[in-house]
Amino acid sequence: MKKDLVLILDFGSQYSHLLMRRIREKNVYAKIVQPEIKPEEIVDSGEYSVKGIILTGGPSSIYTKGAPRCDKKILELGIPILGICYGHQLIAYYSGGKVKRAKRMEYGVTEAVVEKRVGILKNHGKIEKVWMSHGDTVLRLPTDFEILARTKNCPIAAFRHRRKHIYGVQWHPEVIHTLRGRRLLRNFVFDICRCRPTWTPESFVSRSVKEIRDEVGDGRCIIALSGGVDSSTAAVLAAKDIGKKLTAVFVDHGFMRKGEPDEIKKTFSKFNLNFICLDERRRFIGKLRGVTDPERKRKIIGEEFIRTFEKTAAKIKADYLIQGTIYPDRIESGIRAHSEKIKTHHNVGGLPLKIKFKKVVEPLRDLYKDEVRKVARTIGVPRKIVERQPFPGPGLAIRIVGEVTEKKLEILKRADEIVRKELEGWSGGKKLWQYFAALLSTKSTGVKGDSRAYGYTIVIRAVESTDGMTASYAKLPHALLERISTKLTNEIPEVNRVVYDITHKPPATIEWE
């Protein structure tokens, strides 16, 4: 029996990933695709049965030259469709309705008057608080459609086709500011699309093992193992099928946290993996000499990783490289045609164009971090690894703003150890998504022991999040911050100033570079 799937046609919305998460939270598999997908590709989706299609929002106007469009025939497939914001307008436009620039744009929370509590608006109140973000609006519908809701400035805020399962909603049900947004999506996914909640960590494991088997066949593989939950989970998944044909390669590039390389060696030597540890510290730091641009750092590190893996693969005659790349890595590296690149991840956009592998296999490429952790628990990855906070592949090299030197690395490793120990010992530490120290390239004047001190600045960063795609800075107690600051300036002679980053993501990213 084919597995149920909700396809999300992404028109460049900043909330597309959040929409996918909302559906997956209901144990229904959702997948983001480009709007240029052909109708026949939707009908013939391999092991999946497309039960519903969602057209997302986006930054364009449907009248803008070059604005993204989908094939109009998708509306004729007989598959339930939900248009959100731009997708709502596009359905109306394709169906012969009237879409124009609104006299007054709507941004933020507003009240919607629900005229018909049916379909996607079943179990809604007469007045609903919803979150809007649009300039264009639907002003008129064809006769075969009916209005379900309106707002003060939007006469057609939600609609449905009178006979077909085609719906449109101007507001964003995926954001938390729409109070009954999850209910709307639940109505669409279960009542209208008739999806079954069968997407679970267990089902993902069986599917991923089969996928790895199909991709590599009888070939030998190496896996890039960093010791984090992503690469560790990918390694255990691959080992389930490949077994002795898999070699786990840990590259010590010198940018790990204090004591971490030894800890990783100790942990993974116990696994039933062909574990190799390569000391490449001198080569990596040499390649970064004089480099200050963070994108160049990431690309250089990404290429050096690949070259190291290629040399290892040549020795053991491996044809495939397996990576623990996850979905947020790919989003921020600009994999979506109508979205912006935030920063290059060393294992995605940082990869060189030419590599000596038949294929790079990424079994976790469509998962978020919390989903990876669920899978990890299911397949028996040790708890210490499952709960390890996110750590970037380029390591401390991108927590040093500016050029990376051995001296700066030593300072940051000591600072990071102090910050981590203090926050790990704090009673509220477990609710933090990530915390670390960063080292700024600028120096400032201070006073130590009645003498002038000209030293570095350490930035403390601590955030709360569920998936790493958005994050809020953690409101740490001032007494805790003061204690950390005192330790940093007392125990590290080169540091004389400490600041705390109180920026959310967005507008910032979690990491500094």
Residues labelled as active-site residues: 85, 172, 174
Position 129: which residue type?
K
Structure tokens given for 262: 């030894």
Task: Report the half-sphere exposure of 370 (CA within 13 A, side-chain side).
Answer: 11
List the beta strands (DSSP E) in 34-152. 48-55, 81-84, 98-114, 127-140, 145-151
Helix (H) or strand (E) holding 512: none
Q: Where are the alpha helices (DSSP H) in 270-393?
A: 281-287, 294-316, 327-332, 369-378, 383-386
Do 288 and 400 meet the contact criterion of CB atoms below 8 Å apart?
no
Angle at 371 between CA 181 and CA 180, to 5 degrees: 10
Structure tokens given for 267: 């942990």
Give the 3-state secondary structure of 49-74. EEEEEEECCCCCCCCCCCCCCCCHHH
Rounded Cα–Cα distance for residues 348 and 330 (Å)? 6
Rounded Cα–Cα distance for residues 468 and 326 (Å)? 11
Burial degree of 191 (CB within 10 A; 0-12, 13-18, 19+)? middle
Do 439 and 494 meet the contact criterion of CB atoms below 8 Å apart?
no
Q: Which residues pair with 495 in a beta bridge?
A: 456
Rounded Cα–Cα distance for residues 448 and 491 (Å)? 12
Picking from 236, 139, 132, the residue whose alpha carbon sits closest to that of residue 175 is 132
How distant, in Å, are the alpha carbons of 15, 236, 304 from that of 225?
31, 11, 15
Q: Which residues pair with 497 in a beta bridge?
A: 457
How distant, in Å, are the alpha carbons of 33, 47, 56, 284, 458 from that of 84?
15, 27, 5, 46, 43
- Could you tell me whether strands 274-279 and 145-151 are parallel, antiparallel, or unpaired per DSSP bridges? unpaired
